[in-house]
Amino acid sequence: MERLSVGYKYEEVLPPWSHLGYPQPGRSSPGAGHDWALTEPTHLVLPEIRHQLPGASAPGVQLLYPPPARRGLFAAPESLCEANVPSPENVRSDLCRMVSYSTVLMAISKFDDFSRDLCVQSLLEIMDMFCDRLSCHGKAEECIGLCRALMSALNWLLRCAAFYAEKVKDTLEQTAAEGQLKMCLERLEKMLNSTKNRALIHIAKLEEISSWSAVEQSLVKLGEHLNSLGNSPLRSQADDCISLIKSIPTMLSVRSEQLNKSSFPTVHAVVLLEGTMNLTGDTQPLVEQLMMVKRMQRIPSPLFVLEIWKACFVGLIESPEGTEELKWTAFTFLKIPQVLVKLKKYPQGDKMSLKEPFGTLCTQSFAEDVNCAFEFLLKLTPLLDKADERCNCNCMNLLLQECSKQGLLSEANMNNLMDKRTADREDAPHLKSAENANIQPNPGLILRAEPTVTNILKTMDADHSKSPEGLLGVLGHMLSGKSLDLLLAAAAATGKLKSFARKFIKLNEFTKNISAENSKSAPVRALLFDISFLMLCHVAQTYGSEMILSELSPASEVPFFETWMLTCMPEEGKILNPDHPCFRPDSTKVESLVALLNNSSEMKLVQMKWHEACLSISAAILEILNAWENGVLTFESIQKITDNIKGKVCSMAVCAVAWLVAHVRMLGLDEREKSLQMIRQLATPLYSDNTLQFYNERVVIMSSILEHMCADVLQQTATQIKFPSTGMDTIPYWNLLPPKKPIKEVLTSVFTKVLEKGWVDSCSIHIFDTLLHMGGVYWFCNNLVKELLKETRKEHTLRAVELLYAIFCLDMQQLTLTLLGHILPNLLTDSSKWHTLMDPPGKALAKLSVWCALSSYSFHNRSQASARQKKRHREDIEDYISLFPLDDTQPSKLMRLLSSNEEDSNTLSSPNRSMSSSLSASQLHTVSMRDPLNRVLANLFLLISSILGAKTAGTHTQFVQWFMEECVDCLEQGSHGSILQFMPFTMVSELVKVSTMSSPKIVLAITDLSLPLGRRVAAKAIAAL
């Protein structure tokens, strides 16, 4: 048969006996856009017959109907003039009404004879009819079929484009090939410009990895042939299409960064909190916390690094003189560079280029970010000058050198920045005054102390019995001036403090060995015991007792110091019983110790078991105190006894005062005088020539230890005891709460001041921590949420959220459980409180809730509670199981709350609303619901699902929408490990009904695409958009 003219190009595609264009009896035509317009099953509509296109050996398009008797519609050109001949428009219209989009796309993708230009043009025109408005309202399997078909069509278009790009090289066919290539690229562009189409292809990629591999191969083949196009518009169009395709796997990872802000108080507060309260903590949790904030708030990397440095300098400037200043110096110059090294290695999701969609570590770009951050920091001259004045050195240059050592800055950039800062300092002559010339700057001392710590650890590993005198000399140097605090700060900032403490515990245990001791070696052993004991006490008080505790097996013996510290040493939040058995050792040892203290002119040293003396001193002091109160002993006798206690080893005085502190707490006001007088006697140094070596240095440490121990008791009894001054504040941030002022007023006033300033200072952090400890988690969280809901200006609410998130880092796990498990359900189920959830405070609370939920869920399985959090009451899991019962047949308190405010309470309390039937990804991932946080999140999403499906709407419905939008905004691609895995799958169909949530990207973000069910739910929701 003759080929028709170009105007009748459908002859190439459709067989001559096709009756397309003629309506069949009994077939309905519901209109375009419906996937399965026919009521007949697929196998009747699309029989298994495939027909060859005329004149071709390749398989053609599948028949749309079983062939009737041959009618010869295309038998002769003249027959086309008849009235009943189907026009191209009729063919397009009937295609849309009679078959599914996926069927047409799959049929097109099976045609591979690209040399037949008219056939290809016809197929491209058929694709034009619907590729930019695909939809499917059928079952989930049919929607997944549409995804697969679309990816097959994408691959077909790429193969087609590659074929014509190769033909462009042939000069004889160049013009025709360029025309065909242009048509292919236009359809590719049209298909890929639809976010919906890219989302469906994304699902298909996860569903059929092999098919996506074929797409990637086609991309490579097309790229190979593009060079022949030169710089033509076709080349640019093809590159755009390739970029869009390569972006499909990471379409949810492309995030815009905030460019309208220059300060980020959350980063500032997180760094301040870490530097003030957690110098000994591992760097990895801090890195993850900072990266979480960076991602949630979309902070550009240079400004992110800048904010870290700003917080460090502010902390340095405002830190109290003494130990806290040294801790901040170590944090800034030793720990933060290590944090930046880990940030450099951290996968920078926002740094991925479209040409490398699977991401690489952007080490080079991070170095540029650090350099850019320092350039910004140089502009903050007043901040740098203030820090230089406080530290008496060029802080910026020391930091630059440290960063260069760690590979964070190139040498050229370091020199350039150092030159700029040196030039700036020339304009500040007060930084070079003569009075500061002789003061050694702390940053330089800390940087020198760090390698010294390593050397001391090596020295401590040696056999102590071989050269105890040499070891004593090393320890003596450590005690001089502020050397000990410098070394401890450097060890804490570099993660070596626990190892440091273990060495001193080992040394303390070594002093138990008294075999063959003579008068020459006895003083050395006494000093080794005393110095190691005092150092360990100092470490426990300054950095927390968890630095001392070892992880021993049950069979191993607990070291003496650990036993004493756990049972006898006063600490914040630990109340000791003076009548506890730990204070009542063997009576014979107590009697001999009392006799020794009372009758001897000084303590004996040879063969003295110092650890037994320290355990017995509490009972001995009780006997001595009773004798004094009953008139058996005079004040002069008490002075002699206390001089004996503190004359040789200071550790006995520490143990005696530890018991006296516990004893005084139990006495009435009129009974405390003699006990307090004895504490005063023990705290006063002994001025005598008959003391052991390094006595003055040991007394300084002892006084600091005793001051910490007695602080609470002295405040309660309004007693003053003058401890030997070291010229610095030994207990910083002590007694910060104003007297006679309700703690709620204190909380409100401090938060108001912080909000006005726009950042949290170290003093405020300590006040918040004290209030959290005093008021409890619920009181603290509830009152701060009330303060947030009072704000009515958008900029204030956003700032409040950023600050509250940082404050909640004091105990993120417990505060999140309270916020999501108690406060939010109460607000969402009590109609009288719905008005408080209006925009902007309601939207701000939704943001805070999501941030807290994401942070807690990310870290609760990996990080352990810090020491300060362990001291606080921990919420018991039973509290949450009573609120959210594990037995799904039992109506929970939450469900009762819901049903009390719902018109049809049966809907919410019925079994189909229980967790077992509200299937979520977490159940398929077998997440443990015995974990309180998992339980709370699951029930919160159950509540959200109920609100979305309820008959009444209000501000609580709007709150739910804001909550879900923020979840999507903060999450990265692949949410199977996130809080959204607790969302019931049935919620997706409810959410897409909300106008702001009806987006393909949002559907992809809220469904767990790692699960087959998640992909089907997503495909069904997106295909229906």
> Is a pLDDT exceeding 70 seen at residue 502?
yes
Count of positions (residues) in the chain: 1025
Closest Cα to residue 328, out of 387, 283, 379, 287? 387
DSSP state of 3: P
Q: What is the residue whose two structure tokens read 């440095």?
A: 309
pLDDT, tens digit, for every residue of 771-782?
999 899 999 999
| CA count, 13 A, side-chain hemisphere, 260 | 2
pLDDT score of 885 = 46
For 1015, residues 6+ apart whose C-beta sits below 8 A from its C-beta are 144, 203, 206, 207, 1007, 1009
pLDDT score of 255 = 57
Integer Cα distance of 1024 and 1017 in angstroms: 11
Integer Cα distance of 212 and 597 in angstroms: 86
pLDDT, tens digit, for every residue of 539-551?
998 898 888 887 7
> Is a pLDDT exceeding 80 seen at residue 341?
yes
For 122, residues 6+ apart whose C-beta sits below 8 A from its C-beta are 9, 10, 12, 13
pLDDT score of 777 = 94
Section 368-374 average pLDDT = 93
Three-point CA angle 64, 67, 69, nearest 5°? 150
What is 543-568 written as a DSSP string?
Answer: H-GGGT-----TTSPPPHHHHHHHHH
For 283, residues 6+ apart whose C-beta sits below 8 A from its C-beta are 335, 338, 339, 342, 495
pTM of the model: 0.78
Q: Contact, 682 vs 706, CB < 8 A?
A: yes
SS3 of 574, please? strand
Confidence bin at 553 (pLDDT 50/70/90): low
Integer Cα distance of 944 and 907 in angstroms: 14
- Percentage of the chain exceeding pLDDT 90: 25
pLDDT, greater one: 1012 or 723:
1012
Q: Contact, 395 vs 378, CB < 8 A?
A: no
SS3 of 59, please? strand
Integer Cα distance of 987 and 949 in angstroms: 9
Between the alpha carbon of residue 71 and those of residues 7, 12, 79, the distances in Å are: 21, 17, 11
> Is a pLDDT exceeding 60 seen at residue 727?
no
For 718-761, where are the alpha helices, taking DSSP H only? Answer: 743-757
Most confident segment among 148-162, 460-474, 561-575, 977-991? 148-162
Q: For the chain, first and last CA: distance in Å? A: 45
> Is a pLDDT exceeding 50 seen at residue 81?
no
Integer Cα distance of 321 and 304 in angstroms: 28
Confidence bin at 555 (pLDDT 50/70/90): low
Confidence bin at 86 (pLDDT 50/70/90): low
Integer Cα distance of 500 and 490 in angstroms: 11
Lowest mean pLDDT among 348-352, 691-695, 900-904, 997-1001: 900-904
Burial class (CB in 10 A: 0-12, 13-18, 19+), 113: middle
- Three-state SS sequence of 314-374: HHHHHCCCCHHHHHHHHHHHHHHHHHHHHHHHCCCHHHCCCCCCCCCCCHHHHHHHHHHHH
Closest Cα to residue 1020, out of 37, 99, 141? 141
- Percentage of the chain exceeding pLDDT 70: 77
874-880, Cβ contacts within 8 angstroms, sequence gap of 24 or more: 874/814, 875/777, 875/814, 875/817, 875/818, 875/932, 877/930, 877/931, 877/932, 879/932, 880/817, 880/821, 880/932, 880/935, 880/936
Which residues make beta-bridge pairs with 59? 52
- Three-state SS sequence of 445-470: HHHHHHHHHHHHHHHHCCCCCCCHHH
> Is a pLDDT exceeding 70 seen at residue 726?
no
Confidence bin at 29 (pLDDT 50/70/90): very low
> Is a pLDDT exceeding 50 seen at residue 935?
yes
Lowest mean pLDDT among 348-352, 619-623, 725-729: 348-352
pLDDT score of 878 = 40
Q: Contact, 962 vs 847, CB < 8 A?
A: yes
Between the alpha carbon of residue 701 and those of residues 535, 541, 696, the distances in Å are: 8, 11, 9
Cis peptide before 578 (omega within 30 of 0): no
pLDDT, greater one: 77 or 380:
380
pLDDT, tens digit, for every residue of 215-234?
999 888 888 888 777 777 88
Which residues make beta-bridge pairs with 984? 920
Lowest mean pLDDT among 106-110, 625-629, 637-641, 985-989: 985-989
pLDDT score of 975 = 42
> Is a pLDDT exceeding 50 seen at residue 167?
yes
Between the alpha carbon of residue 842 and those of residues 127, 258, 786, 792, 960, the distances in Å are: 46, 22, 11, 10, 10
SS3 of 55, please? coil
**Helices 140-167 and 1012-1023, interaxial angle, to 10°?**
80
| CA count, 13 A, side-chain hemisphere, 897 | 22
Burial class (CB in 10 A: 0-12, 13-18, 19+), 364: exposed
Q: Contact, 333 vs 446, CB < 8 A?
A: yes
Integer Cα distance of 268 and 276 in angstroms: 12
What's the chain's Rg over C-alpha atoms? 38
Q: Hey, how many other C-beta atoms are within 10 angstroms of the C-beta on 200?
A: 29
Integer Cα distance of 486 and 758 in angstroms: 33
pLDDT score of 977 = 58
pLDDT score of 818 = 95
What is 214-280 written as a DSSP string?
Answer: HHHHHHHHHHHHGGGGTTSHHHHHHHHHHHHHHTGGGTTT--PPP-S-S--HHHHHHHHHHHHH-TT
Average pLDDT, the chain: 78
Closest Cα to residue 958, out of 968, 971, 944? 944
Integer Cα distance of 529 and 510 in angstroms: 8
pLDDT score of 31 = 38
Integer Cα distance of 570 and 576 in angstroms: 7
Q: Contact, 686 vs 643, CB < 8 A?
A: yes
Burial class (CB in 10 A: 0-12, 13-18, 19+), 803: buried
Integer Cα distance of 333 and 454 in angstroms: 17
pLDDT, greater one: 694 or 432:
694
Q: Contact, 410 vs 367, CB < 8 A?
A: yes
Lowest mean pLDDT among 152-156, 483-487, 961-965, 966-970: 966-970
DSSP state of 571: B
Section 764-773 average pLDDT = 92
